[in-house]
């Protein structure tokens, strides 16, 4: 399990788009936040070229491995009283947030993103499914991929 953060070069690329990154590579760069593990990112993106894309960003200096002490802390076993399925909730929440950002932009659906972020159970996330789907369907690209995205989200939930 590895966790990566953006370097100064990676942050500049997000702001300026000066590196001419392929959309697939840029999408991964945007999703890297210093908190998500590579396993979570790979599951969310479901991209067969995930490892190659990650290596591209690393070799080009857009990302770097997160400091070891924080990685070790995040790899610690979950507390005994942690709710069952917390990883599943996080995967579903991340999928919903990332697809909203990808199809509607990072600031367009802030209210819905805040409600999704506040969810603590799969039932709460499922109650926001129709709002999420309606938002995805507001864009042409979203409408084209809505069926696939629904299937992927339901597989996580």
Q: Give the total number of structural domains in the chain.
A: 2
Q: Does one domain contain both 70 and 102?
A: no
Instruction: Determine, yes or no, domain membership for 10.
Output: yes
User: What is the pLDDT at residue 142?
Assistant: 84
User: What is the pLDDT at residue 9?
Assistant: 92
Q: Does one domain contain both 45 and 98?
A: no
Q: Does one domain contain both 93 and 68?
A: no
Q: Does one domain contain both 69 and 115?
A: no
Residue whose structure tokens are 């399990």: 1
Instruction: Determine, yes or no, domain membership for 125.
Output: yes
User: What is the pLDDT at residue 75?
Assistant: 41
| CA 42 and chain centroid, separation | 9
User: What is the pLDDT at residue 1?
Assistant: 62
User: In residues, how long is the chain?
Assistant: 157
User: What is the pLDDT at residue 8?
Assistant: 92
DSSP state string for 78-119: PPTTSPTTHHHHHHHHHHHHHHHHHHH-TTTTHHHHHHHHH-
CA distances from 85 to 77, 78, 79 (A): 14, 11, 13
Q: Does one domain contain both 112 and 147?
A: yes
Q: Does one domain contain both 94 and 66?
A: no
For the entire predicted model, the pTM comes to: 0.47
Instruction: Determine, yes or no, domain membership for 80.
Output: no
Q: For residue 105, give its domain range.
A: 86-156
Q: Does one domain contain both 70 and 95?
A: no
> Mean pLDDT, 10 residues at a time, over the chain (157 residues)?
87 88 90 87 86 90 73 40 66 88 84 90 90 90 86 82
């Amino acid at each position: 399990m590895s966790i990566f953060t953006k370097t100064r070069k990676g942050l500049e690329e997000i702001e300026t788009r000066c590196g001419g990154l392929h959309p697939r590579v840029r999408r991964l760069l945007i999703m890297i936040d210093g908190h998500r593990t590579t396993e979570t990112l790979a599951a969310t993106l479901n991209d067969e070229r995930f490892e190659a894309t990650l290596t591209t960003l690393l070799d080009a200096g857009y990302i770097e491995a997160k400091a070891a002490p924080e990685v070790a802390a995040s790899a610690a076993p979950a507390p005994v009283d942690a709710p069952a399925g917390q990883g599943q909730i996080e995967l579903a929440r991340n999928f919903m947030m990332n697809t909203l950002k990808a199809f509607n932009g990072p600031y367009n659906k802030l209210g819905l993103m805040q409600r999704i972020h506040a969810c603590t159970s799969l039932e709460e996330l499922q109650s926001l499914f129709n709002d999420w789907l309606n938002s995805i369907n507001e864009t042409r690209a979203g409408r084209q991929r809505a069926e696939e995205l629904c299937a992927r989200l339901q597989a996580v939930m």
